[in-house]
Amino acid sequence: MNKIITGEDYINSLKNRKLKVYLLGELIENIVEHPMIRPSINAVAETFDLALQEPALATAISPFTETRINRFLHIAQTRDDVVLQNKMQRRLGQLTGTCFQRCVGMDAFNALYSTTFEIDKKYNTDYHQKFKAFIANMQSQNFVIGGAMTDVKGDRSLAPHQQVDPDLFVHITKRTHEGVYITGAKAHQTGCLNSHWLLVMPTIRLTENDKDYAIVGAIPVDAEGITYIYGRQSCDTRSMEGGNIDVGNAQFGGQEAMVILDNVFIPNELIFMNGEYEFASMLVERFTCYHRRSYVCKSGVGDVLIGAAATIADFNGAEKASHIKDKLIEMTHLNETIFATGIAASYQSKPTLSGAFMPDDMLANVCKHHVTKMPYEISRLAQDLAGGIVVTLPSEKDFKSETVGHLLEKYLKGKAEVPTEHRIRILRLIENMTMGRNAVGYLTESMHGAGSPQAQRIQIARQMQIDFKKQLAKALAGIEKDKKKILVSEISDYFGRVFDVNV
């Protein structure tokens, strides 16, 4: 395969692969041309075209190949690298209005880079060198990497090794001199069919009894033993009806699928953790740190939705009403708050032992916790500005009907100078983003992607340094007069994280 350069090159790279994909109960022979799948492919293609159009934003110089590469394949070497990830993500959200599916792989790359370094440091293994070789190979081909972390989990009260069915967490079923075989399933995997390789990782902290579940490795998406079952999305079959108005955003969409692994082989050279169970939690926490602040992508999608809400107000002739302006201001305030916390987490990045930079974990979790709430309010306000017609519009076929089309053209008119079709298209876009197919990428992902709201609250609680803050209050209140009793370790952690100085 030739190196992928353009979005068109990327689309061509997905053709003629032997994937076992089921959608609506049928085996899909050609995912590239399937109308329900193609919009998600188009969204990934934008990540390649952006690298050509805005290289300062979407590319970087690889320390491994010493060539310019797509930023989604880059290991963050500086604070600016981490910040530019966020700025690229917002831009792509603006361009696609949906999930562009490459953030999981980017964040898995960075989390695994530092984790393998620390495993090797403890056990004198060679995971880190193997992983660097894998990274260089992926960069040289400009491949798309998918991260497969979320297991189906079964009974949540039981550890992986306690499950009645051991396959409810991905685990090693057989070991050979050449490598290992794994079985299990990964749920709601973003962009998995649109990737070239998958990084399989554990999903929770593990114990010694879970050693066979402590497996990290890379597998090609068309490896033998993999079955993909495509996930449903609201209004998804509209793309199969012909026309493009009712879809709302006909060009771009997201993708989620279940990945079934049935004795899939991973060769030794592509294994990056194998039984080092105590490092599973490090990998998961570092991945979620990167990935939770990656949700600034939703601010780019929010920009589109705010623009759609403002446009429908214009088309309705209501743009000068004070309450319309106030709602747009509130939507913008919420959207910028998401971006602010994410970009702050990136600006507060620190180097790991490997040299790769990682965002501030507290602010990353605050960012994601905002994302579990604010896009829902932005969507509510967009629907408010759109009006009830956003859910009662007749179909595109009715608009094109020789019998009733002219009636709809007449009675669904807004401003005289605005074509009725333009008004309908904006309403359909709002529907698509707030309750249709791309609501998955804007709302459901916002709630559950990178962990549910409670997962962020747990991490925030772990890092809120409440004892340190109580000591501060007691000192100022005159309860604790000896300020030297303020915990030195707490001061060091707090000042180091917040003020970027050493104490």
Q: Looking at 34, 196, 291, 370, which residue is catalytic?
A: 291
Residue 48 CA to its chain's centroid (Å): 17
Which residues lie below 8 Å from residue 309, measured CB to CB, with a gap of 6+?
327, 328, 331, 381, 382, 385, 386, 430
**Ordered strands of the 179-190 beta sheet:** 26-27, 21-23, 226-230, 256-267, 179-190, 171-175
Q: Angle 38-53/79-96 helices, nearest 10 degrees?
A: 130
Q: Looking at 46, 118, 256, 276, which residue is catalytic?
A: 256
Structure tokens at 40: 């998600």
Q: Looking at 127, 277, 290, 295, which residue is catalytic?
A: 295
Q: Are 428 and 245 in contact (CB under 8 A)?
A: yes
Q: Looking at 47, 98, 103, 276, which residue is catalytic?
A: 103
Structure tokens at 362: 């507290």
Q: Which amino acid is residue 274, in one-letter code?
A: N
Q: Looking at 297, 370, 372, 494, which residue is catalytic?
A: 297
Beta bridge partners of 228: 21, 259
Residue 99 is among the residues annotated as catalytic for this protein: yes
Q: Are 357 and 78 in contact (CB under 8 A)?
A: yes
Q: Looking at 34, 99, 369, 372, which residue is catalytic?
A: 99
Residue 291 is among the residues annotated as catalytic for this protein: yes
Residue 192 is among the residues annotated as catalytic for this protein: no
Residue 190 is among the residues annotated as catalytic for this protein: yes
Q: Are 386 and 427 in contact (CB under 8 A)?
A: yes
Composition of the chain by helix, strand, coil, percent to 5: 55, 15, 35
Q: Looking at 98, 116, 183, 190, which residue is catalytic?
A: 190
Q: Which amino acid is residue 419, in one-letter code?
A: P
Q: Looking at 46, 150, 445, 494, which residue is catalytic?
A: 445
Rounded Cα distance, 202 and 153, in Å: 11
Rounded Cα distance, 340 and 319, in Å: 27
Residues taking part in catalysis: 99, 103, 190, 256, 291, 295, 297, 445
